[in-house]
């Protein structure tokens, strides 16, 4: 069971993404708890102000630090919680990050808005995470992406555990090609080996196809993937 507490200016954004399908079921089954908190609830002024003009001048507004820190301190469980700021300035989120975070029991995610958060926030968070080298309007979508990727690693969340384990086994390779009925669609046949019933042959074929796909589409991933001697041999053959 992992508990996520999300602090955001826009709690409504989370309703549908977390209220459907696998994430909804995981919460219902007690494998996952997601609580979304409005940053405004942690303000103390009459107008619930969460941002202010930057010292030194310049365009845009900066998110104030007091309500964010009040939220963190309200939700934090000593010795248990990891506090994460979603920001394009953070470390890049990868499958390894998801695996590491899936071992935590309590995560607080702070969604910043695009113009930035008071720099002193760094002293109140454990890490800063970006989901990619592009700028979103805020950290909300990034938080959703992260919750989704972490949640599916919790045992029981994804129906067929095998599919998660298979992804892990495949390491950083792209997935092998998959087919379902019909066997022939407009002259396009399903590869014969998949109909052979020979599981060993199918496994070998899938591994080679995963290597082929990764080599063609994401050679950068292949360079970092843990490969067996047999894989390396296959890659050399594929390159020819």
CA–CA distances in Å: residue 220 to residues 83, 133, 150, 167, 176: 31, 16, 23, 18, 17
Q: Which of 217, 209, 202 is nearest to 235 (CA)?
A: 209
Rule CB under 6 A: say whether 139 interacts with ligand ADE. yes
Q: How distant, in Å, are the alpha carbons of 177, 179, 183, 184, 190 from that of 187?
A: 18, 14, 10, 6, 10
Q: Which residue, chain included where needed, has tokens 């555990």? A: 161
Give me the residue whose beta carbon is nearest to ligand ADE.
142
Count of chain residues binding ligand ADE (CB under 6 A):
14
Which range touches ligand ADE (CB under 6 A), out of 54-62, 117-125, 135-143, 203-211?
135-143
Using rule CB under 6 A, residue 6 touches ligand ADE: no
* 191 is annotated as an active-site residue: no
Catalytic-residue membership of 167:
yes
Closer by beta carbon to ligand ADE, 26 or else 131: 131
Tell which one of 130, 157, 205, 215 touches ligand ADE (CB under 6 A). 130
Residue 136 lies near ligand ADE (rule: CB under 6 A): yes
Contact 111/140 with Cβ under 8 angstroms? Answer: yes
The residue annotated as part of the active site, out of 17, 118, 128, 152, is: 152
Cβ at position 131, least distance to ligand ADE in Å: 4
Note whether 144 binds ligand ADE by CB under 6 A.
no
The pairing of beta strand 188-189 with beta strand 62-63: unpaired
In the annotation, is 209 catalytic? no
Tell me: does residue 117 bind ligand ADE (CB under 6 A). no
Check residue 1 for interaction with ligand ADE (CB under 6 A): no
Q: Which of 115, 148, 177, 218 is catalytic?
A: 115
DSSP string, 81-129: EEEEEEEEEEEEP-HHHHHHHTT-SEEEEEE-BTT-B-GGGGGT-SEEE
Binding site for ligand ADE (CB under 6 A): 86-88, 112, 114, 130-132, 134-136, 138-139, 142
């Amino acid at each position: 069971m992992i508990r996520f507490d999300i602090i955001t200016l826009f709690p409504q954004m989370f309703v549908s993404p977390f209220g459907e399908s696998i994430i909804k079921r995981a919460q219902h089954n007690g494998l996952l708890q997601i609580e979304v908190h409005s940053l405004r609830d942690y303000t103390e002024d009459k107008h619930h102000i969460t941002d202010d003009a930057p010292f030194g001048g310049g365009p845009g507004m900066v998110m104030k630090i007091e309500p964010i820190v009040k939220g963190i301190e309200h939700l934090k469980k000593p010795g248990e919680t990891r506090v994460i700021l979603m920001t394009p300035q953070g470390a890049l989120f990868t499958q390894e990050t998801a695996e590491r975070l899936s071992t935590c029991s309590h995560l607080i995610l702070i969604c910043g808005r695009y113009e930035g958060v008071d720099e002193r926030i760094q002293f109140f968070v454990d890490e800063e995470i970006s989901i990619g080298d592009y700028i979103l309007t805020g950290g909300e979508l990034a938080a959703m992406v992260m919750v989704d990727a972490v949640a599916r690693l919790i045992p029981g969340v994804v129906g067929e555990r095998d599919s998660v384990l298979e992804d892990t086994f495949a390491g950083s390779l792209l997935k092998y090609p998959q087919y379902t009925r019909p066997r022939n669609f407009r002259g396009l046949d399903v590869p014969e080996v998949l109909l052979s019933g020979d599981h060993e042959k199918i496994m070998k074929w899938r591994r080679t196809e995963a290597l082929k796909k990764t080599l063609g589409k994401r050679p950068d991933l292949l360079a970092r993937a843990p490969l067996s001697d047999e894989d390396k041999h296959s890659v050399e053959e594929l390159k020819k």
